[in-house]
Structure 1
Amino acid sequence: MGRIRTAIGLMSGTSMDGIDVALVKTDGEGVVERGPAVGVAYDPAFRKRLQAALETAKTIARREERPGDLADVERDLTLRHAAAIASFLDANGLTKADVDVIGFHGQTVLHRPEQGLTVQLGDGGLLAGESGIDVVYDMRANDMAHGGQGAPLIPVYHAALARNLPADCAFPVVFVNIGGISNLTYIGPDGAIVAFDSGPGNTLIDQWVEAQAGIPFDQGGMIASEGRAVAGLAARYLDHPFFTAPERRSLDRNDFSPPAGGEATLEDGARTLAHVTAAAILKSAGHLPERPKTYVVCGGGRLNQVIMGDLAGLASDRGAKVIPAEAAGLDGDSLEAEAWAYLAVRALDGLPLTFPGTTGVRAPVSGGVVAKAERGAVSDA
């Protein structure tokens, strides 16, 4: 067993709605003690700047480039993360001396695995200096340098959690994260890990209701619950070659686009896209080694009752049950941030973050860059 460290994980996902902060005590292997967690929302003006940054980032050809105002956005994003840490420590009666490391995801603004290119805004050195705590960041790049897709990185944490699931969670178990993009982690009865992105998550729904009604997301699936699924529109998404391609690949939020304004009413569009989110998960699960028996659902999408209802119905038809993370004793809001804390500890110990069965990397590899708080120095993990 390795040294047990106290780590804070920071996650700002593809939904770009804020920062999740979570504390974990772990050896980066089988010991996981989950601590407090909090979500810190971005103000609407900054969220708009992040959305604009996605467009600017399309011109990036090399990871270190920061065209337009991206350098300013990166600095402001990092300072918001530093403020979130300071507030979190204060709220939980902790000091920087109580924390060994921060796992900093940053904000993905470009992800093109076919070009070996992934860009997460976030200045690890600045965050280390502001927080006074060592930071591990840029954890996707080394995987890509060794032939991987750069995503998903969380499966190794799912595997650690799977060791302590309730007895009624039959294996194979699949952890489903429904964020902006959905992804699956399969844990076989023998502990085998297979993981990949499964399709659109909340992003299409968010984009649809924002464009049609000026609402940032469909809270609880309330809008979708008033509509009906438009079969032809759903089929257009589910017939996408992504689902039938022999090789799994990681998705960028631009791989799927929301419907045009005239293709459905507000409610029917939200209902159709909720169905697409659920059906995409089951369709992608067809690429797994065995048919799952339990789906544990994490991420914001688990709060959309229409997605969950469709997912439960489709899974039941295949002999599986669907439960939200909370029914498995987990926190579906903080799980990704917890994973980033866990990954930071693994990175410090040189343990693999990714595997051939998760990202397609040629062999298990570690990764991440360490920014030391006391010197602002930066080195490979």
Structure 2
Amino acid sequence: MSKTQLYKVIGLMSGTSLDGLDIAYCHFERKNDSWSFSIEKTESIDYTSEFKEKLKNTVHLEASKLLAFHNDYGNWLGEQVKKFIDRNQINIDFIASHGHTVFHQPEIGLTYQIGSGQHLANASGQKVICDFRTNDVALGGQGAPLVPIGDKLLFEEYDFCLNLGGISNISFEDEGKRIAYDISPVNMLLNHICKKIDLDYDQGGKIAATGAINNDILEQLNSLPYYKLPYPKSLGYEWFEKNMISIIDNSQDTAQNLLHTSVYHIASQIGMDIKNTQKKNAKVLVTGGGAKNEFLIETLQDKVKDMAQIITPAVEIIDFKEAMIFAFMGVLRDINEVNCLKSVTGAQRDSSSGVLYYPL
């Protein structure tokens, strides 16, 4: 007789592209050894321009102010979830929160996401599981990417899972092991260029499509040493700030041409990595905000046309896959099963990562 377990969890995600807070109320069901999921209710809360700037500048705050904001942001997250629960009249087992990444420098053993779990638990009145990255870094891993455990257990019908958020990351099976790593900045780069023309982002990639390639900029971007590093590897805002911003800001070219060139750069790096696996007739699931950038998707499809099909799923999956998978990581942590894969992060061992907080 088959045994079924059902978990009802809210996942929270705030990504490096600073779009806002994604809230996903999900059900996860395990029947024997197979997992399934449904996304029941969702909401995206846009950050105000003032709040967005505050989050972006956390990397430069002095320690005491950063820690105070860590607590304030945890309170804010808890308040948003409490309103979401009340509005939708739902009962949940717990909240799983990614937090918002401020520092990610695994080479010196550092990763830090703000959004205090205790403050979140107290403000929401719910059990919270958060801080999913620290333990993996303590075990010598990159602490990223973490989503591949969800790709492996929930999206196994795809050869590749590609997320186009602030940063692109890819996940796939290779000789029975899950491989995943960050490829390149995406919306982090495109949105930075859009600020030059007072836009938050380039809707559908329409502006990028009108530009032309700047070969000098393209060569500078493609020549960055990170792209030649072996995986496991991961990127953070600090890397972008140090390595890419000056290339863009020192250029006198138009925003249209810089966007066009950046799209080609992003598609080239992703396309090259997909081709290097030598998989044939591959299915590539694309999610994250960049999946709505039609020019980027067309350019990427052209780069891999001989060997892969780019598949964009329902909008709900595009927008909320990461929040949903962090909810799923919370489930795995709650039942003390592996949610961080050493084959992905380079850690000494697989682990069940995340810290539990209870409302007081």
TM over 0.5: yes
CA shift for structure 1 position 21: 0.5
Counterpart CA distance in 2 for 1:34 and 1:355 is 24
Q: Which residue of 2 aligns with 1:358?
A: 344
Alpha-carbon offset, residue 288 of structure 1: 4.0
Query: Residue 273 of structure 1: SS of its match in structure 2?
Result: helix
Shift of 1:54: 2.1
1:21 corresponds, among 20, 23, 47, to 23
**312, 320, 323: which one pairs with 2:308?**
320
Could you tell me which residue of structure 2 aligns to residue 307 of structure 1? 296
Conserved? CA contact 1:184–1:198, under 8 Å: yes
Q: Is the 8 A contact 1:194 1:288 kept in 2?
A: no
Residue 242 of structure 1 deviates from its aligned partner by: 1.7
* Aligned twin of 2:211: 227
Question: What secondary structure does 2:193 align onto?
Answer: helix
User: What is the aligned partner in structure 2 of residue 33 from structure 1?
Assistant: 38
Q: Using the TM superposition, give the Cα deviation of residue 236 of structure 1 relative to its aligned residue in structure 2, in angstroms.
A: 1.5
Aligned equivalents of 1:13, 1:218: Cα separation in 2 = 17
Does residue 346 of structure 1 match 2:332?
yes
Distance, in Å, in 2 between the alignment partners of 1:205 and 1:323 is 22
Question: In the TM superposition, what is the alpha-carbon distance from 1:355 to its structure 2 partner?
Answer: 1.4
Residue type of the partner of 1:344? G
Aligned to 1:274: 263
Structure number with higher helix proportion = 2
Structure 1 residues 71-128: Cα deviation after superposition (integer angstroms, max 9, x where no partner):
332233223312321232233222xxx1111101111000001011001001100111
In the other structure, the counterpart of 1:195 is 180
Please state how far the C-alpha of 1:291 moved relative to its aligned partner: 5.6
SS in 2 for 1:31: strand
Alignment partners' CA distance in 2, 1:225 and 1:286: 24
Counterpart CA distance in 1 for 2:204 and 2:81 is 28
Instruction: Identify if the C-alpha distance between structure 1 residues 27 and 370 changes in structure 2 by more than 3 Å, giving closer, same or farther.
Output: farther
Instruction: Please list the CA deviations of residues 104-163 of structure 1 after superposition, one character each: whole Å capped at 9, or x if unmatched.
Output: 111100000101100100110011111111000111011111121000111111122224
Q: Which residue of 2 aligns with 1:206?
A: 191
Q: Which digits, 9 at most, give the CA deviation of each residue in 1:33-58, with x for residues without a partner?
A: 322111111111111111111223xx
Q: 1:230 to 1:309 in 2, by over 3 A?
A: same
| Residue 79 (structure 1) aligns with | 75
The answer on whether the counterparts of 1:32 and 1:160 sit within 8 Å (CA) in structure 2 is no
1:185 pairs, out of 133, 152, 171, with 171
Task: Please tell me the residue identity of whatever aligns with 2:163.
Answer: N
Shift of 1:289: 7.4
The aligned counterpart of 1:135 is: 128
Instruction: Find the counterpart in structure 2 of residue 157 from structure 1.
Output: 150
Secondary structure, counterpart of 1:367 in structure 2: coil
Q: State the shift of 1:215 in Å.
A: 1.6
Q: What are structure 2's unaligned runs of at least 5 residues? A: none
Question: What is residue 138 of structure 2 aligned with on the other side?
Answer: 145
1:216 to 200, 203, 206: 200
Distance 2:143 2:29 in 1: 23
1:92 to 68, 88, 95: 88
Distance 1:289 1:83, change over 3 A: farther
Count of residue pairs the alignment pairs up: 350
CA distance in 2, matches of 1:306, 1:157: 28
* CA displacement 1:196-240 (0-9 Å, x = unmatched): 111111101111111x12222212212212211212211211222
Cα gap change, 1:146 to 1:287, in 2 (>3 Å): farther
SS in 1 for 2:251: helix
| Counterpart AA for 1:50 | L
Q: 2: CA distance between counterparts of 1:286 and 1:321?
A: 12
Structure 1 253/284 Cα, relative in aligned 2: closer, same or farther at 3 Å? farther
**How far does residue 195 in structure 1 lie from its aligned partner after superposition?**
0.8
Greater mean deviation of Cα atoms: 15-24 or 355-364: 355-364
Match of 1:14, SS? coil
Partners of 1:346 and 1:138 in 2: CA distance: 14
Q: Is residue 52 of structure 2 the alignment partner of residue 47 of structure 1?
A: yes
Structure 2 contact 194–255 (Cα < 8 Å) conserved: yes
Using the alignment, how far apart are the partners of 2:324 and 2:354 within structure 1? Answer: 16
Separation in 2 of the partners of 1:363 and 1:292? Answer: 33
Deviations, residues 308-338 of structure 1 (Å, cap 9, x unaligned): 111110010x4111011229xx611000000
Unaligned segments of structure 1, at least 5 residues:
57-65, 166-170, 376-381
One-letter amino acid matched to 1:250: S
Q: Which residue of 2 aligns with 1:379?
A: none
| Matched-pair contact (CA < 8 Å) for 1:2–1:27 | yes
Match of 2:111 in 1: 118
- Report the RMSD for the aligned CA atoms in angstroms: 2.1
Contact 2:212/2:256 (<8 A) preserved: yes
Deviates more, 1:40-49 or 1:289-298: 289-298
Q: Which residue of 352, 372, 381 maps to 2:358? A: 372
Tell me, in whole angstroms, the C-alpha distance in 2 between the residues paired with 1:306 and 1:346: 37
Are the structure 2 counterparts of residues 131 and 239 from structure 1 closer, same or farther at C-alpha, using a change threshold of 3 Å? same
Which amino acid counterpart does residue 42 of structure 1 have in structure 2?
Answer: Y
2:218 alignment partner AA? A
CA distance in 1, matches of 2:272, 2:66: 37
Q: Which residue of 2 aligns with 1:175?
A: 161
